[in-house]
């Protein structure tokens, strides 16, 4: 039996790839940015399903972006694939190390300690003149698999394709993971850690695993963002950036791997219009939406789609 | 199978366990009695790793499990139920059992100790649902189940992998009086007593008399009597310190 | 020698500031178990109110020394308006929700208030420089410090002593302590927890606003100051142990001195040093310096 979510994900990705040929530049850019955000939030929903909210995932988002951005500086290579790989390796290593500490924490302590780590990075980057301090620096991606695509005229479309492909792949794998026995333990840990331990599994290890996965996704999102925007700065690690990811997670809900992409699309679209027409009420809008969702739709916007189904089956 | 030696534990000024020495063999069903705060649950908590004893040792099948984490001890085949049911509240009854089974069967965290894997006399989810008469609730979310059913599911989760040592913390508390024997019968029916030992905390003396062949009586962190159930219940000190209180407690 | 004195004095001034901006946060967490991100907004609104009110008051030609009265009035005004509105209007309906959900609620409020500030005061900075110069300065081993710094230290000590006296000696304070200790027992003993929450949140809001008011003369009051401050206040209360007053004081001193040392000796590690202290403390004391024992679950 074909999995509905996987089918839908693949159709959506294909549609994007095809429509990328006809969409105007600004729309392609908007979708690219949304997919980057969505990839980060995909990791956040895995954490949320494990019962954790991180107010510091900007750490990995920023690390991913900087490792991609400094690839030319440190390795002399500005190949897109290589940049993504460095982001994966760096975020996986750091999150694996920090995970030993963070897996002991829950609830607000987890949120606050993650925040502290992301602010450490912010503090370091904003003082390091070598990397442009608070201004950051521009990122140029010259080649892909060694092929020089920058001046081909298709650069934006190729970056868009890679982003779409990465997002689709992450979505696909995450869906399979969440369905697997190992993945389902996330919900178990969230529900009752004590019972998980008394069935013979280590809640700390489950949290650690999911933390690393979510960090790598955030790193990938950050690297793709650096590549598509072409600029990075320490703000990516500031706590309000992490706050935006938390916002999208809460808004979209955690029940489906498609929710984060749906949420990010909505978020970036509304944001670009809000910036244009009423820059001083954008956060007001965010805050109000968030309150309304917490009060009336505790499972996020995605539950609007699934709710009907549940009623019918009962 | 289980050897407890010189086990001690204090919480501040309160002595919860004082020099406990117990040997438990396969094929025995043991009741723990005593008033609230006498140290019964502390005893279970130390065996299952929730608490570390201050001193003393616990061996299970000749393996030292003193102070090991719950998951390690569980992996040796020691399963437990809880006074307040510990369920996965957002999942259905069936999912609760499935996930219990998949955790127990998986390789996750044996702390590098492969040999510790349980030799399973495990039952299928469907069998357990039937034996515990949970089939009608299988698609209901755990948080919506009636209290008695939650209790039953909690015990079923401990049983699904076929434990070698089963510890039950007040299996019939919160259960309607007329159902208590039914529940105990179900449990005894599922457990293969030839290869398993059962220890349970219980306030209800009718249950103790009917199902146990040995009883430990706790008072102020000490075991004041240990032996055949009938003898323990007629022990003068038990009568004064344990039964005097429990008959007041249970207004059944 | 000079630099040691400078580190200590700057450190103490910074510690005082940290304590003032964090004390309301830890009080609210202790009693209500809410880690209030909107605390940063209350701080910012306090600063804006003080800057604009005192500015217009002095423009009317009143004596400069009255500025301090207006500043105090600003803190009370902000606290007694915003506190009740937000507690009664929104938080009251959320108490049964999870701690982390409450953080998200206050984060939503923070976002809203950030823009409300911009709508009221615009995006251009405000300055309230008069009180800073008004008090003159003092000299110590060839270093000159404005007396306003002493005022800050004085305020921190006063607030700390006042709260300790209030909690230990007054009837209302003892009720608060009872609620901090055990909410359930407190409510079964006939304490009106609802009212306690209302009063605590209002008091916490006044303290947040007071933090902003006292800071206003030292900075340019502009968008973003709330976001900057709240994370430092978090660091203080988390290091101290959430909800602990002496913990917050100790944490403020620790962080204040470390940061001051960093600023003087390794300026590049300025911001970094605060969070390094936080991470280090949490590694060794996972629940902060002064933390409550956990109860048995089973």
The alpha carbons of chain A give a radius of gyration, in whole angstroms, of: 19
Side-chain half-sphere of B88: how many Cα atoms within 13 Å? 28
For B26-33, what is the mean pLDDT? Answer: 86
**Chain A residue nearest residue B143, CA to CA:** A191
Taking the mean position of all CA atoms in its chain, how far away is CA A217?
A: 6
As a dihedral over the C-alpha atoms of residue B105, residue B109, residue B110, residue B111, rounded to 10 degrees, the angle is 180
| B193 pLDDT above the threshold of 80 | no
- Contact C277/C11 with Cβ under 8 angstroms? no
Chain A residues near residue B103 by CB distance under 8 angstroms: 185, 188, 196, 199-201
Please determine, for the modelled complex, whether the ipTM score is greater than 0.90.
no
- CB–CB contact A205 B106 (8 Å): no
Contacts of B29 (CB under 8 A, 6+ apart): B188, B193, B197, B198, B200, B211, B212, B213, B214
- Contact C292/C33 with Cβ under 8 angstroms? no
| C185 pLDDT above the threshold of 80 | no
Global confidence as pTM: 0.88
Per-residue HEC secondary structure of A159-207 comes to HHHHHHHHHHHHHHHHHHHHHCHHHHHHHHHHHCHHHHHHCCCCHHHHH
Measured between CB atoms, does B25 come within 8 Å of chain A? no
Chain B residues near residue C298 by CB distance under 8 angstroms: 41, 45, 50, 82-84, 86, 169
Q: Could you read off the pLDDT of A5-43 as tens digits, one per residue?
A: 888 888 888 888 888 878 888 888 899 999 999 999 999
Enter the tokens of residue C86: 């937000």
Sheet holding B78-80, edge to edge: B78-80, B165-169, B197-201, B29-33, B214-219, B222-228
The CATH superfamily label for domain B1-76+213-246 reads P-loop containing nucleotide triphosphate hydrolases (3.40.50.300)
**Strand A143-144 and strand B197-201: pairing?**
unpaired
Q: What is the CATH number of domain B86-166+180-197?
A: 3.40.50.300
Chain B contacts to C (CB-CB under 8 A): 41, 45, 50, 82-84, 86, 169
For A196-221, what is the mean pLDDT? Answer: 93
Confidence band for C237, pLDDT divided at 50, 70 and 90: very high
Taking the mean position of all CA atoms in its chain, how far away is CA A269?
A: 17
Question: How long is chain B?
Answer: 252
* Percent share of chain A, pLDDT over 90: 39
**Chain A residue nearest residue B97, CA to CA:** A199
Helix axes C245-265, C2-32, angle to 10 degrees: 150
For A179-202, what is the mean pLDDT? Answer: 88
Q: How far apart are CA B224 and CA A135, in angstroms?
A: 74
In this predicted model, which residue has the larger pLDDT, B50 or C187? B50
Confidence band for C1, pLDDT divided at 50, 70 and 90: low
Q: Could you read off the pLDDT of A89-124 as tens digits, one per residue?
A: 999 999 999 999 899 888 888 888 898 899 889 988
Burial of C85 (0-12, 13-18, 19+ CB in 10 A): exposed
Q: How far apart are CA C107 and CA C23, in angstroms?
A: 19
Chain A residues near residue C267 by CB distance under 8 angstroms: 127
Task: Of A76, A265, A11, A33, give the one whose Cα is nearest residue A163.
Answer: A33
Domains along the sequence of chain A with CATH? 4-313 (1.10.3470)
Mean pLDDT for all residues in chain A? 87
Mean pLDDT for all residues in chain C? 87
Q: How far apart are CA A276 and CA A279, in angstroms?
A: 7
| B65 pLDDT above the threshold of 60 | yes
| B108 pLDDT above the threshold of 50 | no
Q: Which of C38, C104, C236, C266 to mutate to test binding with chain A, by most A CBs within 10 Å of its CB?
A: C104
CATH architecture of C2-284: Orthogonal Bundle (1.10)
Residue ranges matching CATH 3.40.50.300 in chain B: 1-76+213-246, 86-166+180-197
Contacts of A210 (CB under 8 A, 6+ apart): A46, A47, A50, A186
Side-chain half-sphere of B92: how many Cα atoms within 13 Å? 12
CA distance B236 to chain C (A): 31
Chain A residues near residue C268 by CB distance under 8 angstroms: 127-128
CA distance C293 to chain B (A): 12
Enter the tokens of residue A262: 């749906």
pLDDT at B110: 43
Q: How far apart are CA B230 and CA B209, in angstroms?
A: 7
As a dihedral over the C-alpha atoms of residue B225, residue B227, residue B228, residue B231, rounded to 10 degrees, the angle is -40
**Chain B residue nearest residue A204, CA to CA:** B109
The alpha carbons of chain C give a radius of gyration, in whole angstroms, of: 19
């Amino acid at each position: 039996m074909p999995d509905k979510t996987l089918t839908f994900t693949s159709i959506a990705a294909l549609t994007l790839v095809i429509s990328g040929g006809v969409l105007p530049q600004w729309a392609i850019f908007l979708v690219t940015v949304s997919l980057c955000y969505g990839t980060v939030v995909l990791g956040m929903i895995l954490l949320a399903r494990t019962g954790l909210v991180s107010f510091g995932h900007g750490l990995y988002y920023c690390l991913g972006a900087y490792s991609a951005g400094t690839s030319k500086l440190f390795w002399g290579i500005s190949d897109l694939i290589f940049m993504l790989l460095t982001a994966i390796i760096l975020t996986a290593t750091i999150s694996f190390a920090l995970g030993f500490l963070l897996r002991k924490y829950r609830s607000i302590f987890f949120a606050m300690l993650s925040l502290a780590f992301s602010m450490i990075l912010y503090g370091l980057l904003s003082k390091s003149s070598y990397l442009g301090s608070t201004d950051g620096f521009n990122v140029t991606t010259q080649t892909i698999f060694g092929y020089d695509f920058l001046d081909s005229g298709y650069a934006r479309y190729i970056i868009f394709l890679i982003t779409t492909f990465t997002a689709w792949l992450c979505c696909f794998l995450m869906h399979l993971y969440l369905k697997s026995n190992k993945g389902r333990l996330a919900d178990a840990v969230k529900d009752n850690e004590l019972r998980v331990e008394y069935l013979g599994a280590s809640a700390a290890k489950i949290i650690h695993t999911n933390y690393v996965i979510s960090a790598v996704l955030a790193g990938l999102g950050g690297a793709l963002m650096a590549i598509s925007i072409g600029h990075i700065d320490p703000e990516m690690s500031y706590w309000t950036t992490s706050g935006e990811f938390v916002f999208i997670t809460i808004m979209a809900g955690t029940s489906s791997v498609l929710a984060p992409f749906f949420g990010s699309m909505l978020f970036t679209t509304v944001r670009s219009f809000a910036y244009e027409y009423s820059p001083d009420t954008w956060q007001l809008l965010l805050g109000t939406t968030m309150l309304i969702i917490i009060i009336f739709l505790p499972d996020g916007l995605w539950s609007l789609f699934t709710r009907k189904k549940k009623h019918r089956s009962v | 199978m289980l050897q407890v030696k010189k086990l001690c534990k204090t919480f501040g000024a309160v002595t919860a366990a004082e020099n406990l020495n117990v040997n438990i063999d396969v094929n025995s069903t043991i009741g723990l009695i005593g008033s609230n705060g006498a140290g019964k649950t502390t005893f279970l908590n130390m065996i299952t790793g929730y608490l570390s004893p201050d001193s003393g040792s616990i061996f299970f099948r000749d393996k030292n499990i003193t102070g090991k984490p719950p998951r390690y001890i569980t992996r040796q085949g020691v399963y437990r139920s809880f006074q307040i049911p510990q369920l996965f509240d957002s999942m259905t009854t069936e999912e609760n059992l499935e996930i219990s089974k998949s955790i127990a069967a998986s390789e996750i965290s044996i702390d590098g100790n492969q040999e510790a894997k349980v030799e399973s006399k495990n039952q299928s989810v469907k069998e357990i649902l039937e034996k515990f008469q949970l089939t009608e609730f299988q698609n209901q979310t755990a948080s919506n189940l009636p209290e008695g059913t939650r209790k039953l599911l909690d015990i079923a989760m401990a049983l699904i992998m076929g434990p070698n040592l089963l510890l039950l913390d007040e299996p019939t508390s919160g259960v309607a009086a007329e159902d208590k024997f039914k529940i105990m019968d179900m449990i005894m029916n599922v457990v293969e007593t030839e290869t398993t030992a059962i220890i349970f905390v219980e306030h209800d003396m009718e249950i103790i008399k009917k199902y146990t062949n040995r009883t430990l009586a706790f008072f102020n962190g000490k075991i004041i009597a240990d032996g055949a159930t009938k003898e323990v219940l007629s022990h003068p000190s038990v009568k004064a310190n344990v039964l005097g209180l429990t008959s007041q407690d249970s207004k059944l | 020698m000079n630099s040691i004195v400078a580190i200590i004095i700057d450190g103490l001034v910074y510690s005082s500031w940290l304590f003032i901006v964090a004390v309301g946060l830890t009080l609210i967490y202790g009693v209500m178990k809410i880690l209030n991100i909107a605390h940063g907004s209350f701080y910012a609104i306090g600063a804006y109110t003080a800057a604009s009110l005192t500015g217009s008051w002095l423009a009317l030609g009143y004596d400069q020394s009255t500025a301090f009265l207006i500043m105090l009035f600003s803190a009370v005004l902000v606290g007694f308006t915003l506190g009740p509105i937000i507690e009664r209007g929104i938080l009251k309906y959320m108490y049964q929700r999870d701690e982390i959900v409450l953080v998200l609620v206050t984060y939503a409020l923070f976002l809203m208030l950030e823009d409300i500030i911009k709508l009221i005061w615009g995006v251009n900075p405000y300055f309230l420089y008069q009180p800073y110069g008004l008090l003159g300065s003092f000299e110590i081993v060839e270093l000159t410090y404005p007396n306003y710094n002493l005022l800050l230290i004085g305020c921190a000590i006063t607030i700390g002593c006042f709260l300790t006296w209030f909690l230990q000696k007054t009837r209302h304070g003892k009720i608060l302590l009872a609620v901090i200790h055990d909410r359930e027992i407190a409510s079964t003993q006939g304490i009106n927890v609802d009212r306690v929450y209302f009063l605590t949140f209002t008091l916490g809001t006044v303290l947040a606003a007071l933090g902003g008011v006292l800071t206003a003369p030292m900075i340019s009051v502009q968008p973003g100051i709330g976001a900057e401050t709240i994370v430092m206040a978090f660091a203080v209360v988390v290091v101290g142990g959430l909800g602990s007053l002496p913990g917050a004081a100790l944490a403020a001193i620790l962080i204040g001195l470390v940061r001051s040392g960093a600023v003087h000796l390794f300026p590049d590690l300025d911001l970094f040093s605060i969070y390094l202290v936080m991470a280090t403390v949490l590694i060794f004391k996972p629940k902060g310096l002064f933390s409550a024992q956990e109860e048995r679950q089973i």
